[in-house]
Chains A and B, each alone.
Chain A
Amino acid sequence: MAKRSARPFSVTDLPGFATIAIMAFVALYVPILTLVAYSFNGATSVAVWGGFSLQWYVAAWDNTVVQAAAMRSLGIAACASVLATTVATMAALGTTRTAPFRGQTAIYVAINQPLMVPEIVTAVALLIFFAAIKVATGYTGLAYLVMAHTAFCIPFAYLPIRARLEGMDLSLETAAADLYASRWRTFRYVTLPLLAPGIAAGAMLAFVISLDDVVITEFVKSAGQDTLPTYMLGQMRRAITPETNAISTALLALTVLLLTAFFLLTRKRD
């Protein structure tokens, strides 16, 4: 006991710490593991195990509606993440590589608006706003979804890029200018290469955020523009089949892959 009291206070020493930790992890992972397990179910039920099978993956793969929704999801995520990352990079440069100016905090808040305004409010607002434009122009294509996704992806791309810019040694840019690089060449040959991991991380995060969006997509999409998540939501309303589990598992795998890449890119290196 004397030995124990000599140690500095640690929250892990508190009674019940292990129990709570295990409960938290159970709550986090058991549902997902169940979903993954039942995606390999040989039976039609999502509750009764009928042996290992890949039939639901095959079914999902062969389902042309799923194929179309998946391609749409990936297409929108690709466009939205590229656009959002470009805007976020410029915004990050504009908010870190300038002398402090009045209203800087206001601009920071404005850029991160999608993190604060409830998504359902934005969704309803976009529904009304885009409906008016759709009527006026007659255009009902995917551009609305791309624009909406770009908007809410910007803060997710902005934050890692800004963090990287703020951590960058400013004397490197001074050194480039000293070595005859114009402002553009300083950006091109020094700032941008050093910023690249932040930009890649921001793009990946934006891609993942776009990929799994339901609320705004559900409100903004026109007929026949289901993305993978909205398609799955529609399926769940009718009948729950392990096919949905299979699609979810595939989506999960992709997300985990991208987020792993994100963490590898943003972790501190010596």
Chain B
Amino acid sequence: MSEAATAAVAVEGRNLVKAFGQGNAAVRALDDVSVTIAKGEFFTLLGPSGCGKTTLLRLIAGFESPTSGAILLDGRDITALPPNRRPVNTVFQSYALFPHLTVAQNVAFGLQMLGKPKAEVAATVDRMLALVKLEAFAARRTSQLSGGQQQRVALARALAPAPQVLLLDEPLSALDLKLRKEMQTELKRLQTETGITFVFVTHDQEEALTMSDRVAVMSAGQILQTGSPRQIYTRPANRFVASFIGETNFLTARISGGAAHLAGGVIALPAGTADTASATLAIRPEHLRLAPPGTPGALPATVAHSVYFGTDSHLHLRLADGAELVARQQTSADGAAGPEPGTEVGVLIAEGAVQVLQE
């Protein structure tokens, strides 16, 4: 998202700290987080539970106030505004649909609270229900809907007042796998059609990679890396990002003269890599190739065991110094089994696949 740097800013968080509890027992859910989200962007906060991603979302929504720091919306400081005075809407993890109202009344709620004229409310509700393909369900009670339909009502309700920013708190986590995939596409479509800035919270890396323009990876109350899905996958900034997004092999090596020196051999690195006595290399399993033992440039290894996944297999390899590597091998067209445990092989690493991590 190269435009992000120059595009107008939708949301900005400045040095946000959120501490729960008092004195020494205080826990910092957010520890000096600064973030800039561009207008019209699909921005994802990704991290394990307890990393502070939901706290950050709740700060933007106004459900919590920061211990220190400021939140700006469209350049205006909204830190002190209550949630009902922020032009921001939320899709809740539990949907939080009003059980005493119909689908249409749920969608109309925000517009009515804003004091919109009746005709406009009715027209917008119709448009929103069409957008989420629930026209036929307008008069139903929300309890009569399936999980996926409730999810779409929650989306329509949050989109109806045309917020500047839509906040989504793990909205897909309650859906089954197939529905989740459909809703991923649906969410991306809605975001493109409405042009509204989406801030999406998830612990699911696949969701983050498939939908987002940019992803912020969070851990222990801090943002570790912000970048496009491609950037964070191919160029993780540190070990946590590398291991949280996808699967990664970590190897310890000595770097000198632009190459990494391992027990079994040498791996070429990009020019200009600084010399270090001990660095951590990150290599994705899909960038490892097996070759006959003794192939020039290949690291000698032994197959420990393999796990079959259908489209591919994970081969667990042991290098000469005892370090373990996982190589992903696509299942061949004839479905032939890979090498047996105990087989001596050579491991080739695709050029540019090695990422030297800063610790």
The answer to whether A175 touches B113, judged by C-beta atoms less than 8 angstroms apart, is: no
Q: Is the CB of A180 within 8 A of B113?
A: yes
Closest CB in chain B relative to A205 CB, distance in Å: 22
Chain B minimum-CB-distance residue to A168: B99
The interface residues of chain B lying within 8 Å CB-to-CB of A215 are none
Bound Cα distance A117, B139 (Å): 51
Complex contacts, A178 vs chain B, CB 8 Å: 61, 63, 83-84, 88-90, 158
Interface residues of B in 58-86 (CB under 8 A from A): 61-63, 82-85
B113 in contact with A179 (CB, 8 Å) = yes
Instruction: Say whether A177 faces chain B, with CB atoms less than 8 Å apart.
Output: yes
- Flag B153-170 by CB within 8 Å of A: 1 or 0 each: 000011001000000000
Residues in A neighbouring B63, C-beta threshold 8 A: 174, 177-178
9 closest A-B pairs by beta carbon, nearest first, are A179-B110, A175-B96, A180-B113, A171-B96, A177-B83, A181-B113, A193-B100, A178-B90, A180-B84
B110: chain A residues within 8 A (beta carbon): 179-180
Q: By the criterion CB–CB under 8 Å, are A174 and B113 in contact?
A: no
Q: Does B92 reach chain A (CB closer than 8 Å)?
A: yes
Q: Kindly list chain A residues whose C-beta atoms are within 8 Å of the C-beta of B143.
A: 270
What 0/1 pattern do residues 177 to 208 of A give for CB contact below 8 A with B? 11111100110011001100000000000000
The reply to whether A179 and B94 form a contact with Cβ atoms under 8 Å apart is no
Given contacts A175-B98, A182-B84, 20 further A-B contacts (CB under 8 A): A171-B92, A171-B94, A174-B63, A174-B83, A174-B96, A175-B92, A175-B96, A176-B98, A176-B109, A177-B62, A178-B63, A178-B89, A179-B109, A179-B157, A179-B161, A180-B114, A181-B109, A189-B109, A190-B98, A194-B99
* Complex: chain A residue closest to B88, CB-CB: A178
Minimum Cβ distance to chain A for residue B233 (Å): 33
The reply to whether the CB of A62 lies closer than 8 angstroms to some CB of chain B is no
A-B pair count, CB < 8 Å, reads 60
Are B90 and A175 in contact (CB-based, < 8 A)? yes
Q: Is the CB of B83 within 8 A of A172?
A: no
Interface size on B, residues (CB 8 A): 25
Interface residue? A13 (CB, 8 A): no
A180-B114 Cα distance, complex, nearest whole Å: 6
Residue of A181, A185, A270 contacting most chain B CB atoms (<10 Å): A181
A175 to B93, CA, bound (A): 11
In the assembled complex, the Cα of A176 lies from the Cα of B84 at a distance in Å of: 8
Range of interface residues on chain A?
A: 10 to 19
Note all chain A residues with C-beta closer than 8 A to B96: 169, 171-172, 174-175
Across the two chains, which residue of chain A brings its CB closest to B92? A171
Which residues of the partner chain A approach B113 to less than 8 Å between Cβ atoms? 176, 179-181, 185, 189
Instruction: Determine the distance from Cα of A193 to Cα of B101 in the docked complex, in whole angstroms.
Output: 10
- Please determine whether B89 and A179 come into contact, CB atoms closer than 8 angstroms: yes
For residue B349, give the distance in angstroms from its CB to the closest CB of chain A.
49
- CA gap between A176 and B113 in the complex, in Å: 9
Q: How far is the CB of B216 from chain A (nearest CB, A)?
A: 22
**Taking the nearest CB of chain B, how far is it from the CB of A128, in angstroms?**
47
Chain A residues with CB under 8 Å of B99's CB are 172, 194
Which of the residues A181, A189, A194 comes within 8 Å of B84, measured between beta carbons?
A181
A182 — which chain B residues lie within 8 A by C-beta? Answer: 84
Tell me if B94 and A177 are in contact (CB < 8 A): no
Complex-state Cα separation, A193 to B100, whole angstroms = 7
Residues of B within 8 A of A172 (CB): 96, 98-99
The answer to whether A180 and B161 touch across the interface, beta carbons within 8 angstroms, is: yes
Q: Which of B90, B92, B98, B114 has the most CB of A within 10 A?
A: B98
Q: How far is the CB of A102 from chain B (nearest CB, A)?
A: 15
What is the chain B residue whose CB lies nearest that of A190?
Answer: B98
User: Contacts of B89 on A, CB cut-off 8 Å?
Assistant: 178-179
The 0/1 profile, CB within 8 Å of B marked 1, for residues 257-270 of chain A is 00000000000001
CB distance from B288 to the nearest CB of A (A): 46
Among the interface residues B63, B100, B157, which one has the most CB atoms of the partner chain A within 10 A?
A: B100
Contacts of A179 in B (CB 8 A): 84, 89, 109-110, 113, 157-158, 161
CA distance A99 to B90 in the complex (A): 23
> Separation in Å of the B108 CB from the closest CB of chain A?
10
Q: Give A171 to B94 CA distance when docked, in angstroms.
A: 8
Q: Which of B233-278 contact A (CB under 8 A)?
A: none
- What chain A residues lie within 8 Å of B90 (beta carbons)? 175, 178
Q: Which residue of A lies closest to B58 (CB)?
A: A174
**What B residues does A189 contact at CB under 8 A?**
109, 113
What residue of chain A has the Cβ atom nearest to residue B110's Cβ? A179
Q: Which of A178, A181, A189: most chain B CB closer than 10 A?
A: A178
Considering only CB atoms, which chain A residue lies closest to B157 in the complex? A179
- Bound-state Cα–Cα, A189 to B105, Å: 11
CA distance A179 to B111 in the complex (A): 8
7 A-B pairs with CB atoms under 8 Å apart are: A171-B92, A176-B109, A178-B61, A179-B157, A180-B85, A181-B113, A186-B84
Task: Provide the residues of chain B in CB contact with A194, threshold 8 Å.
Answer: 99-100
> Taking the nearest CB of chain B, how far is it from the CB of A184, in angstroms?
11
Question: What are the residues of chain B within 8 A of A171 when measuring CB–CB?
Answer: 92, 94, 96
